Amino acid sequence: MSPNRDQHRTPHHDKLPIRMLHDRVLVKQDTGEGERRSGGGILIPATAAVGRRLAWAEVVAVGQNVRTVEPGDRVLYDPEDRAEVEVRGVAYVLMRERDLHAVAADRFEGSEDSTGLYL
């Protein structure tokens, strides 16, 4: 690997002292469990029962075999299929690249494979 590519793959979140291996992706959840707002502005309490719901997270670090996501991308994943890890007091989620459902990144804007949806 070129030094430039290694720099691109290093975590940018608080300069984590770790290197991801193989096809692993380390993400930080966008929001914690708690109340949220609907699209119409209605406040939904944390105790409200909801069906199976996917969650968004920011990619913090990727292994050398990861091809579709980069640090800084937002990814959609199933929070029920996760392994949590704490690094320097911050909780992260560790998963394989194949467990991601979608990727949202500025670099996809205007590309052929972009859906054009605002996520």
In a domain? residue 71: yes
Tokens of residue 19, six digits: 């290197």
pLDDT digits (tens, 9 = 90+) for 24-40: 999 998 765 566 666 77
The pLDDT of residue 19 is above 90: no
Better-scored residue on pLDDT, 8 or 22: 22
> pLDDT-based confidence at 11, cuts 50/70/90?
very low
End-to-end CA distance of the chain: 33
Tokens of residue 38, six digits: 């609907």
Domain limits for position 94 = 19-31+53-104
In a domain? residue 90: yes
Q: What is the CATH number of the domain that holds 91?
A: 2.30.33.40
In a domain? residue 43: no
- For residue 1, what pLDDT is reported? 44
Q: What is the pTM of this model?
A: 0.65
Give φ, ψ of 78 to 5 degrees.
-90, 115
Split into its structural domains, the chain has a count of 1
